[in-house]
Amino acid sequence: MTSLEQLSQDVVRFRDERDWKQFHNPKDVAVSLLLEAGEVLEIFQWKDAAGVAEAAQARKGDLADELADVLCYTLLMAHDLGIDLSAALAAKLRKNALKYPVDKAKGSSSKYTEL
């Protein structure tokens, strides 16, 4: 069980050993984050439910790679902006728990404004 903090340090050290911080303004990191998320989605492009399930198995290694890239840029951006990502996620879940209370949201895909 690796802490998010530890993973963040690993990623930042990888970057700093290569002196890449100079290229990593938040806008460019956000562009790369988006493009990596696109590579995840591309694996499911044009696929119906059966094709998605098949790709999830057959391309599990590629999906792991692309999700690792997404996590990598998420950690870098949080680090560079001084954001505590664990705290941000916990806060987000608390906020969403208010927007989507279990008794109203259970089994519904409606947006909170329509519950």
The answer to whether 98 contacts a copy of itself (rule: CB under 8 A) is: no
Among 54, 58, 97, 99, binds a copy of itself (CB under 8 A): 97
Q: Give the contact letters, 28-57, x = binds to a copy of itself (CB under 8 A), - = no.
A: x-xxxxxx-xx-xxxxxxxx-x--xx--x-
Q: Please tell me the distance from the alpha carbon of residue 93 to that of residue 88, in angstroms, as a whole number.
A: 9
Q: How many CB atoms lie within 10 A of CB 101?
A: 12
The answer to whether 107 contacts a copy of itself (rule: CB under 8 A) is: yes
Among 54, 58, 64, 112, binds a copy of itself (CB under 8 A): 64
Among 54, 65, 99, 112, binds a copy of itself (CB under 8 A): 65
The answer to whether 86 contacts a copy of itself (rule: CB under 8 A) is: yes
Pick the closest to residue 61 from 40, 37, 46 (CA basis): 40
Pick the closest to residue 61 from 36, 37, 43 (CA basis): 43
The answer to whether 12 contacts a copy of itself (rule: CB under 8 A) is: no
Q: Please tell me the distance from the alpha carbon of residue 106 to that of residue 115, in angstroms, as a whole number.
A: 10
Q: Coil, strand or helix: which one is 67?
A: helix
